[in-house]
Amino acid sequence: MISKIGFKLTLILTFLSIFQIFGQQKVFVGDPDTAFEKARELAFNNHRKQAQDSLVFILTKYPDYHDIRSFLASTYYWDGDYKNAKIEFSYILEKNKQRKGDWIGAINNDLSADTPFSALDLAENALQYFPNDAEILYLKAKAQENSNNPEDAFSTLDLILAQNPNDQKAIDYKKNLTNTLSYNTIGIKSSVDLYSGTFDPMQYYTLNYSRKTKYGSITGKLNFSRRFNDNGAQFEVDMYPKITKGLYAYVNLGFSNSYLYPDVRYGGELYKSLPKSFEASLGFRALKYNTTTTIYTGSVGWYTGNSYWSFRPYLTPGDSGTSKSGVLNYRKYRSDADNYFSISAGMGFSPEFERFSLAGNEDAIIKLKSQKLNAGYYFTSSDKQNAWGILFGVAHQEISFKPGSYFWIYSIGLNWDLKFR
């Protein structure tokens, strides 16, 4: 520990001595290589500002010492000072177009600064001097994707793989991009609820088709269930329109001619991204049986690392008061958003899930007491085209016609989705 502190003090004293000697001078005097090495040591020992001051001072005498200017640009980039990093990289590339490392640094700087069109322009210029270079082509693909041209990025990755079919970095990127370009998804969901008493097993099935558009995604669903020794079907449409950056909506509309589902259901919700990786929403659901039951809901979500937490309450007004329920959900992501483990716990009955028909008995059923625990595991094939889900759940549910008495409900579900372009 003492030696480490002594080393840092030596670096700081060296830096101070440089400016003590040349403090009255406007132009650096001395050995630039020695001063450069000392500045590098400062930068790598958490004294970045002192290192930058030293590098700038050296450049007053040696403005075309490109290794020094390149390192200065890199320190700005590490600090998130993308504007000054761009100035330094531009100076170098204006003087010397053959410095591949600085082309790469400049492109990465623009990508990090969220200026993908500028990054794409740099990449195309760099390829004039380094034709078909895999590193630059890879960055060009990232710039194309970030500028909303994923199809072009896909073609650029093909150029890399045509030269080297075993380029693992390009292979992995292409797999992820294939998932992005899979605008269409068809899927099947099935589940069964097993009751500890009173009711026979209830079966649920959903056939869905989704399409991504530049305005948001839209999903058509055909729901079918066998409950109370009867069959019923429902058609639904879910939409997630994009409004502006960080703001999107959820819109739902469904119809059925079976008493197992509401005659009409509809709803809407607004989602807003917030600072510190939070997201919040506010909306409602409406279910029309003999009368219309309106459910007010919202959510608060938080992304932290590879984890996601969310809480969603439900408030359902009725003649005898307002029913309250809520669900706390946790997800642990693996490689991407389609690969994760989830667990959720909830209390209270929400008619949105329609475990029972509300027809003629809305006010009594929404007051039911309930506790539930669910777990799911979701994973994809190596090419990301196929996605599966396995779900397990248990609920302790009050019996609607026998208040104060409960039964257990054990749920098992399977999902499968196929993505294609």
- CB-CB contact of 54 with 15 (8 Å): yes
- Locate 22 and state its tokens: 């040349």
Tens digit of pLDDT for each residue in 241-253?
Answer: 999 988 999 999 9
Percentage of residues of the chain with pLDDT beyond 90: 65
Residue 19 has pLDDT above 50, yes or no: no
Residues 188/222, Cβ–Cβ less than 8 Å = no
pLDDT, tens digit, for every residue of 29-71? 888 899 999 999 998 998 889 999 999 999 999 999 999 999 9
Which domains are assigned to the chain? 2-180 (1.25.40.10), 184-420 (2.40.160.40)
Residues comprising the chain, all counted: 421
Better-scored residue on pLDDT, 24 or 292: 292
CA distance 129 to 106: 15
Neighbours of 389 (CB within 10 A): 18
Query: What is the tens place of the pLDDT at every residue in 301-341?
Result: 999 989 999 999 999 887 777 888 899 999 999 978 889 99
- Distance from first CA to last CA of the chain, Å, rounded? 58
CA 265 from centre of chain:
29
